[in-house]
């Protein structure tokens, strides 16, 4: 008989330079960074989904181009926001 695994502690979230929670950062198929971050808007709890192009390949902020595995990581980051992790 195997023992059930102990739940792992909630991992500590990274913070933006302004102190807001970063729920996840994922590199997409084009090496752009997709970041789910808590919004500073005061009224409702909201989040931003940013796409950063560190190589400056695209003129405008690109839309994320995700594989299934990368999409699952974005979903997990959004779930941390939905669950109220701070």
59 in any annotated domain: yes
Q: Which residues contact 32 (CB under 8 A, 6 or more apart)?
A: 51, 52, 53, 54, 58, 62, 64, 65
6 in any annotated domain: no
3 in any annotated domain: no
Residue 5's pLDDT band, with cuts at 50, 70 and 90, is very low
Residue 72: pLDDT above 70? yes
User: What does each C-alpha distance from 28 to 1, 16, 64 come to in angstroms?
Assistant: 41, 20, 6
Give mean pLDDT, residues 18-47.
91
pTM above 0.85, yes or no: no
Domain span at residue 55 reads: 14-82
Please state, for a pLDDT cut of 90, what percent of the chain lies above it. Answer: 55
By residue count, the chain amounts to 86
Tell me how many domains the chain contains: 1
Residue 62: pLDDT above 90? no
Give mean pLDDT, residues 62-77.
95
4 in any annotated domain: no
């Amino acid at each position: 008989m195997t023992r059930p695994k102990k739940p792992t502690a909630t991992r500590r979230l990274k913070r933006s330079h302004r102190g807001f929670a970063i729920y996840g950062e994922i590199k997409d198929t084009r090496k752009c960074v997709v970041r789910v971050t808590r919004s500073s808007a005061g009224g409702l709890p909201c989040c931003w989904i940013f796409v950063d192009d560190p190589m400056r390949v695209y003129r405008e902020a690109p839309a994320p181009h995700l594989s299934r595995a990368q999409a699952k990581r974005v979903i997990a980051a959004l779930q941390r926001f939905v669950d109220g992790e701070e």
